[in-house]
Structure 1
Amino acid sequence: GAFRDAVCIRYGWRPPDLPSSCVCGHAFSVDHALSCTYGGFHTLRHNNVRDLLVSLLKDVCPNVCREPSLQPLSGERLFHRSACTEDGARLDIAVEEFWGYQGRRSFFDVRVFNPLTPTYRGQSLASCYKRNEEDKKRKYDERVREVEHGCFAPLVFSAAGGFAPIAGAFIKRLALLHAERLGKQYNTLLYFLRCEISFSLIKSTIRCLRGSRSSYSSPPSQPCLEDMSRIISDARLSI
């Protein structure tokens, strides 16, 4: 079942009973399943994490916005060549007062990457995390700082359920805000949030592995945010 698949993915083993080929024509493997865009599972994996974080932030922070549009440039010159300069650019999350600065907006962008791809072959997991964090920073950090007058943090996760250092700091801060609001122990909430995010990632990864890919069908729609928020609130109150 799902637990067996999760263990296989964690240790780099090939799960049993996989198809021999993908609908896109390539040989089917764990690596291919986590990267193939057919079926939309690649996008859903990202969106599931983003929506979970938005629902958690809404409980403790004001003015939480999903996919906020960035202000267009009005003469500003950005230093990095890879910096995002397009009009209509969006990030995944914007929120006020997350880091404790009253009235200041914090912007976050989520990335879920597959550490098994040939791109990362021969690199340590720590190097993969750093590479993805730096890529996001080069693209958005300067624009957010100079144009939005806010702060930016990339939230990088691996498809196997791990997270990069900045995402780890984000989760710690989120746990602290929930602990202060609910009057619960910080360590308990930190453990709960880490598990919740990791389980969301691994469930999405297994969906990439076992979900049906076809040009005639698409993955089932995600649960609405209201239902997800209610489930999370009930689970948190039971701690």
Structure 2
Amino acid sequence: GQQQRVALARALITDPEALLLDEPLSALDPFLKIRMRAELKKLQKTLGITFVHVTHSQEEAMALADIIVIMNDGKIEQAATPRKVFEEPATAFVARFMGDHNVLTGRVTSAKDGLITLEVPEGQSFTVRGAGREVGEVVDIGIRTDRVRLASATDKTLGFNGIISNIEYRGASVKITVVGAGSDDFTVIASDGDYFANPASVGDAVSLSWALEDAVLLGRVSA
């Protein structure tokens, strides 16, 4: 941490117009990362210098950035505020990389009245709000991991049945991984209270559901 502070001071003493930080916190332990993250944010606000911060840490990017630019194979997949990236990922890559959305892929079977219905290879159908897609076109949809419920859907296009493949206790939350609807790692982030009120085990069959507003139609980056 002290080495990083010294390196930062050496860079800032030249009064630069912009500062490039290439994974400056990668070698620090988790507790020190949080402290240095706060110092960086305070320093940037105080000095008013543009910081270009390169990182592979989604949490770090969300905590520090005014604008997040997500790149894949040299192409920009999305450039937006942290909140927009979190709530409205532009592509399947962004949705998966940021880790807050599940992705389901299928072919459009209906597109009318502002709703698109797609069918995945396993046969289930799902509905999402959106337009501009043709019947037969392959599309991706993202579903918020923290908005998926361990309960049967009232609308069959807003959920599916699957098998639990992994459970991780995280204190305030529990991460549940489910296989189904063409996904090997469909994720549910449940509160510890909700999970332990009705606990499940690896190998159990479960019903998953979500609300229409918790799914987003994802785009694709042109070649």
Q: TM-score range by the shorter chain?
A: under 0.3
Greater relative contact order (Cα 8 A, min sep 6): structure 1 or 2?
1
Greater gyration radius = 2
Q: Which has the higher strand share?
A: 2
Q: What TM-score does the superposition give when structure 2 sets the normalisation length?
A: 0.26
Q: Which has the higher helix share?
A: 1
